Amino acid sequence: MLAEKIKQMADKYACGRLIFFLEGGYNLNTIGSSFIFTLTGLAG
C-alpha cells in the first residue's frame, strides 16, 4: 500500500524521518479507519 512505500522511502533516505499532516477528508464514517491504516503503513 501507499503508506508502506512512503515509509520505506523515509527509512532508505531520511533515517525514517517523516512528518504527517492531516489535510482534507470529509467522510466521518471512514476518516478514522483511513488514518489508522495510514498510521499502520507509516509507523507500524
Partner 1 sequence: MVTARGSTKEDSHRVQSAILYSPFFLKHQAPNYHPENPQRLEAILEAFKKSAFSKNIETIEPKPASKEQIALNHSVKYIEELESFCKAGGGYLDDTYANEYSYISAALAAGAGINTVDMIIDNKISKGFCLVRPPGHHAEHDKAMGFCLFNNAAITAKYALSKGFKKILLLDFDAHHGNGTQNSFYYTDQVLYISYHQWPHYPGTGSAEEKGEGDGLDYTINIPLETGSGNKEFLELFDKIVQPAADKYQPDLIIVSGGFDSHKDDPLAQLNLTDDG
> Would you tell me which residues interact with partner 1 (CB under 8 A)?
1-2, 5-6, 9-10, 13-40, 42-43
| The three grid cell numbers given for residue 35, joined into one nine-digit string | 488514518
Query: At its nearest, how many Å lie between partner 1 and the CB of residue 31?
Result: 5
* Alpha-carbon separation of residue 2 from 20, 34, 41 (angstroms): 14, 12, 8
Query: At its nearest, how many Å lie between partner 1 and the CB of residue 9?
Result: 5
Query: At its nearest, how many Å lie between partner 1 and the CB of residue 29?
Result: 7
Q: What residues contact residue 38 under an 8 Å CB cut-off, 6+ apart?
A: 3, 20
